[in-house]
Amino acid sequence: MILAIALMSFSATMAIKGSNTVFPVAQLWIEELEEKYPDLQITLEGAGSSTGIAALFNGTADIANTSRWMKESEISKMHEDGSYFIPFVVAYDGIALIVNKELGIDNITTKQLKNIYTGKAKRWSQVDPNLPNKPIIFYTRNTASGTYETFSKKILGDDRMDPRARMVESTQLEMESVSKNPYAIAYVGYGYVNDKVKVLDLNGVTPTLDSILTSEYFLSRPLFMWVDATDGFPNTGDVKKYITFGLSEKGQELVEEAGYVAAYGQ
C-alpha cells in the first residue's frame, strides 16, 4: 500500500535539472503551473548545465536546463546511445561582469578581461593605471556551469583560465563576495544582478534587454531546455504542458520577471 502510494507519487513527479542560470525561470513557471494543475508535481534542481544533460542521459531528469549549447562530447554520446534530445530556446541572457561598487571602473574590454582571467594582469593597476595597486580577486563558476563554458569559450578562447581563479559552487556566492570585496570581479547571469554590485560595460556596450536580444552585447547567449524525444516528440503529458506554458505569453512574461530577455513576442 505504502509502496503503491510511493510509486504513484514517484511516477507523477517530473524532474527538472541543470543550469543555475535557468533556475529562476523554471522556478517561476513551476509556481504558476502548480496553481493551474494542482496534481502536477515538479522537482527542480540547479547544479550546472552539464549536470542537467548528464541527468537526461541517465534518466533521472525529464527536462535539462542549460545555459549553453551541447558539447561535442555530449552530441557524440547521443549518437552512441541512439538518443535524441531536442532544445527549446526559452530566453536570452547576457553574462554580466560585476565588480564592487567602490571600484572606479565602468567599462572593460574583452582583452582586459582575458588578461585578468588568464593571470596576465594580477593587479587592478595593470588593467588601468588609474585603478588602485591592489590584487585582483577573480571568481569563476565551477566547470559544470554553462556560464563558465560560455565565458571561457568567448573570452579565453583556447587559453586556459589561471588556476588562481576562485571556483565557487553558486552564483549567489559570487554576488555575495563581490558585494563585500572591493577588489573582486566575477561574471554572473544577467538575471542575478542586483543593486549591491556594479555591472560593467563590455567594449562600451551596456548589457540591456535590447543589446542582449540582438547579441550586440558580446556575452549574450540563448538559454535552453532540453527534452528527450528519442521515442518521438512528447505530444502529451507533463513535459508538453510545461513547455507549452513556458513558450506562452504568460511564460515569456515570467522570463522577464526573472530578469532575462523573453525569446518570443518581441
Partner 1 sequence: MVIGLTSRDLKNQTNTVLINIIAFSGIVILVLLTSFIVKESLPALTNVGAELFTSQYWYPTDTNNPEFGMLALLVGSLYITGLTSLFVIPLGYIVAFFLYEYAGEKEIKFIKSGIDLLSGVPSVVIGAFMLVYVSPLFLEVGIYSPENILLAALGLTILSLPYTASLMQEALSSVDRSLKEGALALGSTKFTAGFKVVTRAALSGILNAVILTVNRVIGETMVVLMAAGGAAIIPQSLTDPARPLTAVIASEMGEVAAGSMHYSSLFVAGLILLVISFGMTLIARVIIQRYKHG
Q: Which residues bind partner 1 (CB under 8 A)?
A: 47-48, 50-51, 54, 71-73, 77, 134-135, 137, 142-144, 158, 160, 163-169, 173, 176-177, 180-184
79/250 with CB nearer partner 1: 79
44/258 with CB nearer partner 1: 44
As measured in angstroms, the least distance from the Cβ of 53 to partner 1 is 9
Instruction: Give the Cα separation of 118 and 248 in Å (integer).
Output: 42
As measured in angstroms, the least distance from the Cβ of 168 to partner 1 is 6
The contacts of residue 25 (CB under 8 Å, 6+ apart) are 65, 90, 91, 191, 223, 246, 254, 255, 258, 260
Q: Is the dihedral of CA 59, 15, 242, 254 positive or negative?
A: negative
As measured in angstroms, the least distance from the Cβ of 160 to partner 1 is 6
176/256 with CB nearer partner 1: 176
The residue behind cell 522570463 is 255
As measured in angstroms, the least distance from the Cβ of 133 to partner 1 is 12
The contacts of residue 123 (CB under 8 Å, 6+ apart) are 133, 134, 135, 136
184/199 with CB nearer partner 1: 184
